[in-house]
């Protein structure tokens, strides 16, 4: 059983803030919800800044059926096929149909996607049957659209932004959120925030893995807090690994967008041999789970620690214009993409599972909503279709805001007494705990899994819990380490339960998909595990 946080702050010093709505997280979903609630007293919390969200770092673009010859039905089928038909079909229909309206809305607000002459330029990525990926400033779509929305919401006086604000805990009474404990790092002070409704848009949990494309601060906070408050979580065993991240000793794991392969990039092994056509008829544009496992297989066969992405058949000026961020990053490490092969290997990229929500973003706790990567409405199934994530932020962010306004939540402001548990304190190297979690998860709960590896990982994680949960914390690093430990344990537990292979969840000891016994979802909460 996961205990409450042990926090060594003076509760009498709490500052209290009352707002209409509280949004936790500054990725695209959180920003879009804030924009939609602009007529209300709305507070949005950034753990750091909007630049540290996964949305900001998204390169490829946004998938939407607006191109000639495309349709929402084709987009739906591609999403279902890539998701191994494990998706919630209703949620997919909402995504592909309302996504068209959301993109038109974003364009009407003044956001500019890249064009070829006077028409939008649509590119293609893995799993898509049509060119339907809109992009902005080449490979800087995420940076462009999050910057656009942060500048937009700053124009509305009702929307307040707190940076360096870390959500420690939610206060729940009789299955209803009545407050949020927030660490104001700029003043090293805890704030009690009360609102009519609360929205978690805290992103994924890439930092539980040693190799990840995610920013440093993506530690699964919202998911862990939700779990401790008895919120249901679902599909946690499905974590997508991006096939191509830059791999060089000492260099960060920089994402090399799937759009690079969509524009003609070829994968080669250490012997310079093209190999993807041996694994899938779509070659480099096969779904991400297949490409990732193919790369791992090639690394084993050739006894190498990476493969290579070949763009040398593309013109230098084209690469610089279409992929400016990727080009400049490679040049930093003395690689000229038009002449040199780019070393790549898979890294943890996107949490397909998360906080269980309905099609309006509602959780099983009253007045608590979730959207974006921390949530799971079932739209991605067992493997996310490329460039559906930013579209999901817009579509379900909009739905959360619509439902909040529709429900017309009444004021729930009241005196809140939060009991800070006290236990025997222990000495813990928080950074070492984080490194240990990440190393263990990468080795044992990564792209390929089996029962022995998973049982060992679960045993180690529970062993660390025995002393980690005795520690009192008063800083974000400590809270993050516990959140990572909680989320890592839940991912491992779910992966051990699912005795089959499906999408991003690959079990070497159960390599086949078993629809008869396992076309079911694993739902976890503090009450236990439910399979249905």
| 42-45, strands of its sheet edge to edge | 159-162, 42-45, 21-24, 197-200, 368-370
288 is known as an active-site residue:
yes
431-531 fold: Methane Monooxygenase Hydroxylase; Chain G, domain 1 (1.20.58)
With cut-offs at 50, 70 and 90, classify the pLDDT of residue 112: very high
Q: Provide the CB-side half-sphere exposure for 253 (13 A, CA).
A: 21
Residue 411 to residue 409: CA distance in whole angstroms: 7
Closest of 21, 6, 16 to residue 400, by C-alpha: 21
What digits encode the pLDDT tens for the residues 420-446?
Answer: 555 556 778 889 999 999 999 999 999
| Average pLDDT, integer, range 150-158 | 97
CB-based contact 360:405 (threshold 8 Å) = no
Report the pLDDT value the prediction gives residue 474, as an integer from 0 to 100.
76
Residue 378: per-residue pLDDT: 98
- Residue 153 predicted with pLDDT over 60: yes
Q: Are 201 and 25 in contact (CB under 8 A)?
A: yes
- Specify the 3-state DSSP secondary structure of 331: helix
Q: Which helix (H) or strand (E) holds 199?
A: strand 197-200
SS (H, E, C) 119-168: EECCECCCCCCCCCEECCCCCCHHHHHHHHHHHHHCCCCCEEEECCEEEE
pLDDT tens column, 447-457:
999 999 999 99
* pLDDT at residue 190, as a whole number: 87
- Please state the rounded mean pLDDT for residues 471-494: 91
The yes-or-no verdict on residue 6 having pLDDT over 50 is no
- pLDDT for the residue numbered 418: 59
pLDDT at 292: 93
Question: Both tokens of residue 193?
Answer: 């925030």
- Cross-strand pairs, 242: 347
The CATH architecture assigned to 246-348 reads: Alpha-Beta Complex (3.90)
Mean pLDDT (whole number) for 86-115? 98
Segment 213-240 shows an average pLDDT of 96
pLDDT of 1 higher than 50: no
Q: Could you say which of 102, 132, 253, 288 is catalytic?
A: 288
Separation CA 253–CA 499 (nearest Å): 31
Torsion of CA 122, 311, 386, 59, to 10 degrees: -80
Q: Is a pLDDT exceeding 60 seen at residue 525?
A: yes
Q: What is the domain partition of the chain in residue ranges? A: 17-238+352-407, 246-348, 431-531
Q: Report whether pLDDT(205) > 60.
A: yes
Question: Smallest Cα–Cα separation from 197: which of 361, 377, 28?
Answer: 361
Q: What is the 8-class DSSP label of residue 58? A: -
Cα distances (angstroms) measured from residue 454 to each of 79, 472, 488:
29, 29, 11
The C-alpha atoms of residue 348 and residue 445 are separated, in whole angstroms, by 11
Dihedral sign of CA atoms 285, 287, 290, 296 in order: positive
pLDDT at 11: 47
Looking at domain 17-238+352-407, which of 3.50.50.60, 3.40.50.1370, 3.90.1150.10, 3.90.550.10 is its CATH number? 3.50.50.60
Average pLDDT, the chain: 92
Q: What is the pLDDT of residue 425?
A: 65
Answer yes or no: are the C-beta atoms of 284 and 268 closer than 8 Å. Answer: no
Tens digit of each residue's pLDDT (9 = 90 or more) over 67-82: 999 999 999 999 999 9
């Amino acid at each position: 059983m996961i205990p409450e946080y042990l926090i060594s702050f003076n509760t009498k010093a709490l500052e209290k803030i009352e707002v209409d709505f509280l949004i936790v997280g500054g990725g695209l979903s959180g920003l879009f919800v804030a924009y939609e609630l602009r007529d209300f007293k709305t507070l949005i919390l950034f753990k750091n800044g909007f630049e540290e969200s996964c949305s900001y770092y998204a390169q490829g673009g946004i998938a939407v059926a607006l191109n000639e010859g495309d349709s929402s039905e084709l987009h739906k089928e591609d999403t279902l096929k890539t998701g191994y038909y494990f998706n919630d079909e209703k949620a997919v229909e909402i995504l592909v149909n309302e996504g068209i309206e959301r993109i038109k809305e974003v364009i009407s607000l003044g956001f500019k996607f890249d064009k070829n002459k006077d028409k939008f330029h649509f590119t293609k990525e893995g799993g898509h049957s049509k060119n339907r990926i809109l992009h902005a400033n080449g490979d800087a779509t995420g940076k462009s659209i999050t910057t656009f929305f942060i500048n937009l919401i700053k124009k509305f006086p009702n929307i307040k932004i707190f940076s360096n604000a870390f959500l420690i805990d939610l206060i729940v009474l009789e299955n209803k959120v009545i407050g949020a404990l927030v660490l104001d790092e700029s003043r090293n002070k805890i704030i009690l925030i009360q609102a009519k409704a609360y929205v978690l848009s805290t992103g994924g949990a890439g930092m539980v893995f040693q190799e990840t494309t995610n920013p440093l601060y993506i530690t699964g906070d919202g998911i862990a807090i939700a779990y401790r408050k008895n919120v249901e979580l679902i599909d946690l065993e499905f974590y997508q690994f991006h096939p191509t991240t830059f791999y060089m000793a000492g260099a960060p794991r920089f994402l090399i967008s799937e759009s690079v392969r969509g524009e003609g990039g070829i994968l080669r092994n250490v012997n310079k041999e093209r190999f993807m056509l041996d694994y899938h008829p779509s070659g480099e544009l096969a779904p991400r789970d297949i490409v990732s496992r193919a790369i791992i297989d090639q690394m084993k066969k050739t006894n190498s620690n990476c493969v290579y992405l070949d763009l040398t058949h593309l013109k230098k000026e084209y690469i610089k214009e279409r992929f400016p961020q990727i080009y400049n990053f490679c040049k930093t490490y003395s690689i000229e993409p038009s002449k040199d092969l780019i070393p790549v290997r898979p890294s943890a990229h996107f949490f397909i599972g998360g906080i269980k929500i309905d099609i309006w973003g509602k959780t099983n706790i009253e007045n608590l909503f979730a959207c974006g990567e921390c949530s799971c409405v079932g739209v991605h199934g067992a493997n996310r279709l490329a460039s559906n994530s930013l579209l999901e932020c817009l579509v379900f962010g909009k739905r959360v805001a619509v439902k909040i306004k529709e429900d017309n939540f009444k004021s729930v402001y009241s005196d809140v007494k939060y009991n800070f548990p006290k236990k025997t304190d222990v000495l813990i190297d928080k950074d070492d705990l984080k490194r240990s979690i990440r190393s263990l998860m990468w080795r044992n709960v990564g792209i390929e899994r089996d029962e022995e590896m998973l049982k060992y990982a679960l045993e180690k994680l529970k062993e660390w819990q025995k002393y980690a949960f005795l520690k009192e914390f008063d800083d974000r690093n400590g809270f993050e380490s516990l959140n990572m430990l909680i989320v890592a344990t839940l991912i491992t537990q779910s992966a051990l339960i699912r005795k089959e292979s499906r999408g991003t969840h690959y079990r070497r000891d159960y390599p086949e998909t078993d629809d008869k016994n396992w076309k079911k979802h694993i739902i976890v909460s503090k009450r236990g595990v439910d399979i249905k």
